[in-house]
Chains A and B, each alone.
Chain A
Amino acid sequence: MSVGKPLAHDSGPLHVTGAARYVDDIPVPAGTLHVAFGLSHEARGTIAAMDLSEVRSTPGVVAVLTANDLDRPVDVSPSAHDEPLLSTGEVHYHGQPIFLVIATSHRIARAAARRARVEITPRPAVLTIDDALEAGTYFEGGPVVWTRGDIKSALEAAPRIVEGQIEIGGQEHFYLEGQVALALPQDDGGMAIAASTQHPTEIQHKVADALGLPMSAVRVETRRMGGGFGGKESQGNALAVAAAIAAARTGRPCKMRYDRDDDMVITGKRHDFRIRYRAGVDEDGKLIGVEFEQFVRAGWSLDLTPPVADRAMLHADNAYFIPNMRIVSLRLRTNTASATAFRGFGGPQGVLGIERVMDHIAHELGMDPLKLRLANLYAKSGKDETHYGQPVKGFELADIIGSLAESSDYHKRRAAVAAFNAENDVLKKGIALTPVKFGISFTLTHLNQAGALVHVYQDGSIHLNHGGTEMGQGLNQKVAQVAAEGFGVGLGRVRITATDTGKVPNTSATAASSGSDLNGMAVKAACDEIRGRMVRFLAETHGLKPKSILFKDGKVHLGNQRLRFVEAVQECYMGRVSLSATGFYKTPEITWDRVAGKGHPFYYFANGAAVTEVVIDRLTGEYRILRADILHDVGTSLNPAIDIGQIEGGYVQGAGWLTTEELVWDDKGRLRTHAPSTYKIPACSDRPAQFHVALWGRKNHVPTIYRSKAVGEPPLMLGISAFLALSDAVAACGEVYPALDAPATPERVMMAAKRVAG
């Protein structure tokens, strides 16, 4: 049995010796050139003049290209065709690529790019949500509105109304390995690309378009990424396309990588949101209706904003039954880097919106927030349908929360926190328990498909390939376990290979937490196919019933006889049985009408809950996370060690988003936090002093791969408990509701503590 074991990451031995190759580590042919962008120094305007002579004359520079020098319009957007690789005259954000430099080294290309003299006639830039509202710069022609029930009468009739607003900052991915791509021109005019990307097929598509080639002439390979988190779903397109254009021009291999500062300035981040809410409740805290306005800062181009903003709307209920609802979503165009996919994909903002509402209501009613949450959870008998019409099935959050409250000693600790706060004036503690219910599937239904390619060689070794990409999440390991299980052999026989558009075509991005759900199933289908052929052949030649043939413990059991796996393979090979197969999977049961906001967009929900306790210093705003307890639902885990790693990492990343990770743009639209020296991601000393993570082990109620559940994104939202614990601590400083904005930096905590104290 391989499935279900806590086996270590397949690349572990390579990582600990420094031997694991990332794109920038691949040995390149002599004569490889390097590409860098020249960037806009204005947030908005028109290019009036461009003098690139000094760039061109820099020793080592081979060529300099502007949009006018390209053979055709080149777009690098994921869908909307609104992102020219290089500015075509208009500049839409500070940091937008304007020209590209091809040089003999990375440093020369970068240094030369900075010698350009580009004159831009500035225009007033639309930078903030307020700017965009004032200027009326909406994507998709205006607000998207979904409703359920009769919100107007519900709010009129509600005994209590709680209303407010929360600002939610964006988040920089800070994948430790920056964006990078390498293009190798082929002898037949084709192009081979190695890219750090979650979406090789999209890179293939964009490079083919840029070069005027069919997709069949472009091959993209991705062995691994040094982190992705959504930041490599569409944001790698520009580098791969630029490198490919440079390679096609010069006939030489070309590589492009962003330095960290460029990476942070050029690429998109998590969408920042403003959420305004108006909630009607009865005196017992039962929700009667909630109205949300979600203002989404999308940046200059559409990128993935529509599905991100949709997902925020789809998660505006989180785990709660809300009989009447109205959600207005405004996707605002601003002159900033185009916000993009980030772990959770809009879900976290939606969830934070309703969790904030719960926190606020509990404060107003003087109710225990956990009791309030439990009273509003989805439940059977008429309280089990979401606002978009999907039944909530297999919903175990009440049990999960109950179990977590007990294991974390929530009630006792809440009382202890209150006692501590009564005795301490400067230090205040806070505690919060928040759940998460996260919908699993791409909301763009056609993306829910995957392919795999499996070969069994004559020596019994197995070559495994699938459409998912490895970014550290352990996808390859999990999928290899599925393959080993399929043939009843040890993991040592299974060779994991790089994702390659030449092996498995038309793949979806490795995103939406779907990697192992989709690719695991596709791999299983391929293995089942080969095993089925072997069984049929062996049954015939050995005069047995197919049913009596078993693949187990590295052996093939033929009635009373046992063959080693390799012997069985050889018999099949000699008998001319095909030992190679593709596998395919598409998620069943899903339908979605995004205009109406109705349907069954998710195959199932992943659930979890976290309790976080914090302490703040009300005078300085400084704080510490004292303890975090998590109970998270991964169905029947394919690999518990990998899943726990995802949960811990997700929590810390989510807590970072809402606490220390602050993005600051100045009034010229320049990102001022473009390096880890100014943008603070959690360090080891920031993690909770006590950290307990457990898996909720019940099997998935739908037949996913070995009844497991997706785990990539949902745990990020467990970090919301850290934010609301801070809110709880601040609330202890006075009577007024803290109404903290995110991220709750020490400055914000200090100011809120002052405000609350009056």
Chain B
Amino acid sequence: MTAPVTLSLAVNGAVHEVTVPPRKLLSDVLREDLGLTGTHVGCEHGVCGACTILIDGQPARACLTFAVQMEGHDLTTIEAVSEGDRLSPLQQALHQVHGLQCGFCTPGIIMTVTAYLRDHPDPDEVEIRDLLSGNLCRCTGYQNIVKAVIRAAAEIRARAPA
């Protein structure tokens, strides 16, 4: 049962045909077959959050998902978060508020938080800490990531039509 299968995947608004082994992980397909290397692989068993992407708008771990399961779903990766050339408020804030050092955890954090802020525009600090608990960062001590989320949320609220 290891004959490659051909699937079509809807990623970042485009449909891609790939032919892959049935047990190939979504994270590997994104990285190897589609060249979307912004989705990072840190632990490969669902704990670190580095591989977080959006499946139908909800954060999910690409390392715990088989690509074959994804037909008919809508996938979003870090590569599609910017608004054209413009960084999203969260991307901007993480950069400016020093919410990253080595940057390896950053894409996963952006995916997790982007989805959350869409539905919860005004999170408090406790909420943000809980939200981020599933994304490990070994460099920053999290302080500036929390700050960046607060700043981004404020920016998004300010932009939203009243």
Give the B-binding residues of A (Cβ under 8 A): 6, 8-9, 11-22, 24-25, 27, 107, 173-178, 224-227, 229, 259-260, 471-474, 641-642, 644-645, 648-653, 675-677, 681-685, 687, 691, 693
* Inter-chain contacts of A14 with B (CB < 8 A): 103
Give 11 CB contacts A-B under 8 Å: A12-B100, A16-B92, A17-B38, A176-B137, A177-B104, A474-B101, A645-B98, A648-B143, A675-B47, A677-B47, A683-B134
- A684 touching B146 in the complex, CB below 8 Å, given contacts A13-B95, A15-B103, A16-B100: yes
Complex CA distance for A11 and B101, rounded to whole angstroms: 9
B66 to chain A, nearest CB (A): 13
Closest-by-CB residue of B relative to A59 is B2
Complex CA distance for A13 and B38, rounded to whole angstroms: 12
Which residue from B35, B44, B92, B103 sits with its C-beta under 8 Å from A259?
B44
Closest-by-CB residue of B relative to A678 is B47
Q: In the complex the two chains form, is B141's CB within 8 Å of A649's CB?
A: yes
Which residues of chain B from 132 to 157 have a CB within 8 Å of any chain A CB? 132-146
Q: In the complex the two chains form, is B138's CB within 8 Å of A8's CB?
A: no
Q: In the complex the two chains form, is B145's CB within 8 Å of A260's CB?
A: no
* Inter-chain contacts of B47 with A (CB < 8 A): 675-677
B65 to chain A, nearest CB (A): 15
Complex CA distance for A488 and B127, rounded to whole angstroms: 45
Give the A-binding residues of B (Cβ under 8 A): 24, 28, 31, 35-45, 47-48, 50, 77-79, 81-82, 87, 90-92, 94-96, 98, 100-107, 110, 128-130, 132-146
Q: In the complex the two chains form, is A683's CB within 8 Å of B136's CB?
A: yes
A661 to chain B, nearest CB (A): 11
A418 to chain B, nearest CB (A): 28
B3 to chain A, nearest CB (A): 12
Which residue from B39, B40, B95, B143 sits with its C-beta under 8 Å from A176?
B40
* Inter-chain contacts of A651 with B (CB < 8 A): 141
Closest-by-CB residue of A relative to B146 is A684
- A15 touching B106 in the complex, CB below 8 Å, given contacts A9-B95, A21-B37: yes
A386 to chain B, nearest CB (A): 30
Complex CA distance for A207 and B98, rounded to whole angstroms: 36
Q: In the complex the two chains form, is A648's CB within 8 Å of B144's CB?
A: yes
Q: In the complex the two chains form, is B43's CB within 8 Å of A260's CB?
A: yes
* Inter-chain contacts of A174 with B (CB < 8 A): 136, 138
Complex CA distance for A645 and B50, rounded to whole angstroms: 20
Q: A16-B87, A24-B37, A176-B42 are in contact. List 11 more A-B contacts (CB 8 A).
A: A8-B95, A13-B87, A18-B81, A176-B139, A226-B103, A227-B138, A227-B139, A648-B140, A652-B142, A675-B45, A685-B133
- A260 touching B44 in the complex, CB below 8 Å, given contacts A17-B38, A648-B144, A649-B140: yes
Closest-by-CB residue of B relative to A642 is B98
Q: In the complex the two chains form, is A684's CB within 8 Å of B43's CB?
A: no
10 closest Cβ contacts across the A-B interface? A18-B38, A472-B102, A15-B103, A226-B104, A472-B101, A18-B78, A648-B141, A12-B95, A25-B37, A652-B141
